[in-house]
Structure 1
Amino acid sequence: MTSTTNLSTGLTARHRERLMSVAREVSFDTGTRIFEEGRRADRFWIVRTGTVALDLCVPGRRAAVVESLGHGELIGWSWHFPPHVWHLGAEAMSPVRAYEFDAETVRAMCARDPEFGRAIADWVGRVVAHRLHASRVRLLDLYAPYGSGSRM
């Protein structure tokens, strides 16, 4: 990911501290499905250690892995936008330790503090834009006759 989508550079220290005040530590074993495309998005995570693969359902084929996430990266953005349904799936590719956040709690914090809310929205928006581009490139590489024509 680009540096501005990573938690450490995507938010100011003050906003990171505020977000981390509601974090809970969790872990996932290798092969654990963290969430499934189309299901309710009621939480999100930031990777501490390990690797998470994001995948996209492709009708008639196996799910396509569109991106791998590591330290400091956001797992899940669908919690931030109605209808709060996952647009991708996620699986632990190695043992993963992460910080977990309750989406409703963070959305309420954003509503109470517009500056914090704008910072979170800007960070999540940059993540969405990056993931959209990564998904497009990966799907073109997999299924287009000549690939995407670019490498990330």
Structure 2
Amino acid sequence: MSLDELETLSLASELSPTSRTRLANLATIVAWPPQSLLFREGECHRYIYWIQQGRVRLEMSGTGGGAMAMLTVGPGDLLGWSALLGDQRMTATAITATATTLIALDADALQQLCDENHEIGYKVMQMIAKSISKRLLATRLQLLDLFQPPMASVDE
């Protein structure tokens, strides 16, 4: 992947030139058409992605066996961060909502790079924390909406 393509990530602008080059050497650009399955909840997945363009719908299994859309993410957002934090099991299913271009990195190689280069490791973990925070806020807002009392009808 070229450094110019990597520059589309906010992460890259915060790294030294040497660190940007090391990160770019791990990255690959992948394009997906709409309605493509990127990964499924519960499956092991070895890649972490940054969305360069497009939108991806994140779904989780519901109690009735069906999937519920939880959040739609777009350019600059992170996908598959679970691959860096443990057994690589995905916590949601990811399906492209539109034609989507992703920057893909092998999670094991990125983990090794983060261990070797603390500048990159710190910035990657900051991005993961922001992603988790965004998803936690989306969940809280959905719960607030779920527990809102029904609106009274104008006729009452």
1:117/1:56 CA distance change after superposition, 3 Å: same
Provide the aligned length of Structure 1 versus Structure 2. Answer: 140
> Which residue pairs with 1:146 in the alignment?
148
Distance (whole Å) between structure 1 residues aligned to residue 72 and residue 21 of structure 2? 25
Equivalent in 93, 99, 110 of residue 103 of structure 2:
99
The 3-state SS of whatever aligns with 1:111 is: helix
TM, length-normalised to structure 2: 0.78
Moved over 2 A (4+): 13-21, 135-141
> Structure 1, residues 5-64: CA drift from partner, whole Å, max 9, x if none?
x94168614355542331111111111110111111310111122111111111105322
Matched, 1:65 2:44: no
* Aligned equivalents of 2:131, 2:125: Cα separation in 1: 10
Give the alignment partner of residue 80 of structure 2, picking from 73, 76, 81.
Answer: 76
For 1:58 and 1:139, the matched residues in 2 are separated by: 14
1:136 deviates by 3.3
Note the residue ranges of structure 1 that are not aligned, 5 or more in a row. Answer: 1-5, 148-152
Find the counterpart in structure 1 of residue 29 from structure 2.
25
CA RMSD of aligned residues (A): 2.3
Q: Percent identity?
A: 24
1:52 is matched with: 56
Unaligned runs of 5+ in 2: 1-7, 150-156
